[in-house]
Amino acid sequence: MKAVILAGGQGKRLRPLTNDLPKPLIPVAGKPITVHQIEWLKKYGVKEFILSVGYLKEKFLEELGSGRKLGVSIAYVVEDEPLGTGGGLKNAKPLLERESHFYVVNGDILTDIDPTRLFSRFDEDILGVVALVPLPSPYGVVKVGEGSKVLEFEEKPMLRDYWINAGLYLFKPQILEHLPDTGDLERTTFPKLAREGVLKAFKYENVGFWKSIDTVKDVEEAEKILRSTEP
């Protein structure tokens, strides 16, 4: 089983952290984001990784190399110019077209969810399954009862009536024929596949940990969570 990590972006919102380091290599709780991702997927049987890289690509080679020190195999596909998540994945087509299935992960998420559960949504006509998690509120929520009495303060709860893309996918290789040369999966491929009825979703009702790293504050919050769960 192979997994593609889409790691070609510049991470502009994380500057100055990304001035000299690509976003997926920013350390969180003592390890680069990409190393956390590899260790997470390795627990579920993934031993072969493809990194789609572009910005400061040489840093990945310096940090990860062949993957041997992590007990995995890492291949690289390089974007000479920004291709977006769809174009970056299409760039890996020669390494994926003979697979029965493969995972794709955005290079800026940290999670411990079980990726194998996505297989439960597959059937013959489906090309891909998108992992969904409840929308995490960026704010604390105040619960108010009768007479406008404040009942409870809940700090940044999961809003379970709303679901967001978790940045984890399971695809059949036929999806490669639907990818743009340049552009994002979310804006180009997914709307088209949804209209054709060949895309499904899996809702992770009980999320242990999921965090998208977009800002310095996200790094700090993820650091606290991961440090608190260390043995």
Q: Is 149 a catalytic residue?
A: no
Residue 151 has pLDDT above 90, yes or no: no
| pLDDT score for 167 | 95
Residue 220 forms part of a structural domain: yes
Among the listed residues 93, 156, 192, 217, the single catalytic one is 156
- Which residues fall within 8 angstroms of residue 65, CB to CB, at 6 or more apart? 74
Residue 155 domain flag: no
Residue 121 lies in a domain: yes
User: Mind listing the pLDDT tens digit for each residue in 100-136?
Assistant: 999 999 999 999 999 999 999 988 889 999 999 988 7
When pLDDT is cut at 50, 70 and 90, the band that residue 32 belongs to is very high
Instruction: Collect all residues with Cβ–Cβ distance below 8 Å to 148 and sequence separation of at least 6.
Output: none
Question: In which region does residue 157 sit, left (phi positive, over 0), alpha (psi from -120 to 50) or beta (all else)?
Answer: beta
Kindly report, residue by residue over 181-227, the tens digit of the pLDDT. 999 999 999 999 999 999 999 999 887 789 999 888 888 888 888 88
| pLDDT tens digits along 163-177 | 999 999 999 999 999
Residue at 26 is within a domain:
yes
Record the tokens describing residue 12, joined without a space.
């502009």
DSSP one-letter code for 46: -
Domain contains 91:
yes
**What pLDDT shows up at residue 195?**
94
pLDDT of residue 160: 74
Classify residue 18 by its DSSP letter: T
What is the distance in angstroms between the CA of the first residue and the CA of the last residue of the chain?
29
In a domain, 30, yes or no: yes
Check which CATH number belongs to the domain holding 58 and give it.
3.90.550.10
**Rounded to two decimals, what is the model's pTM?**
0.89
In a domain, 145, yes or no: no
Predicted confidence at residue 221, as pLDDT, reads 85
The residue behind tokens 């840093």 is 59
- Could you give the number of structural domains in the chain? 1
**Which residues form the domain of 188?**
2-135+163-228
Strand partners, 211: 110
| φ, ψ of residue 45 in degrees (nearest 5) | 95, 5
Q: Please indicate, yes or no, if residue 208 is contained in any of the structural domains.
A: yes
| 181 HSE (CA, 13 A, CB side) | 2
